[in-house]
Each structure stands twice: as C-alpha cells, then as structure tokens.
Amino acid sequence: MGQCCHRIKAPLVEHTKVCILLGEVDSKPVEFRGSSLEDLRAFPLAARREVGHQLNQVQNGREPDDWKPMNTMGQGVREIRIRDEVGVFRVL
C-alpha cells in the first residue's frame, strides 16, 4: 500500500486520493453484532473517532494501538482499549 505513493507522478491532492483509494481495496469488513453499533454510538465523540481509527487499522491488516487478546471469546479476537478524558472504552 505505501509503495503506491512513490510511483505516481501527480499533484499532492490527486496523489493522496489515489493512495487512499488503493489502500481501501483490501480492507476487511467490520461486522457489528447485537447492540454493538448502538453501544458504540453512545460513546463520546472523541472515543468514537478513535474507535473508527483503530478499526480502520485492523481492517487494513495493522495492529490497534492498545489491545489484548481475548482467546476465551475465540481465536484471533482482540479487545481494543480506548482511553479518553471521560474514561476507558473497550471494543471487541
């Protein structure tokens, strides 16, 4: 993904759009189960934004910034921890 930026000769705005679009091609889907989306929407705005960033990292094959394995929930399940001025929020 990062190498695409070095091969394109274009103005910065177009260059950035192309790299972003190329990076989204292989992203994995996010599945919200039960009331999880509704619960997430109840988080403070800053925490919701950080959750979105962390989920995007996972979707694109990168590690979240703060996480721990939740093997009791299933293989490969991770708890993503978000620290905000209001408190700590967790996403599985």
Tokens representing 75? Answer: 């293989």
What does the alpha-carbon distance between residue 45 and residue 51 come to, in Å, rounded to a whole number? 10
**pLDDT by residue (tens digit) across 40-72?**
999 999 999 999 999 999 999 999 999 999 999
Report the distance separating Cα 18 and Cα 9, nearest Å. 11
Percentage of residues in the chain with pLDDT exceeding 90? 51
Mean pLDDT for the stretch of residues 12-21: 48
At residue 8, the pLDDT reads 45
Q: What is the DSSP string of 41-86?
A: HTS-HHHHHHHHHHHHHHHTTPPPSSEEE-TTT-TT-EEEEEE-SS
Joined tokens for residue 39:
């619960």
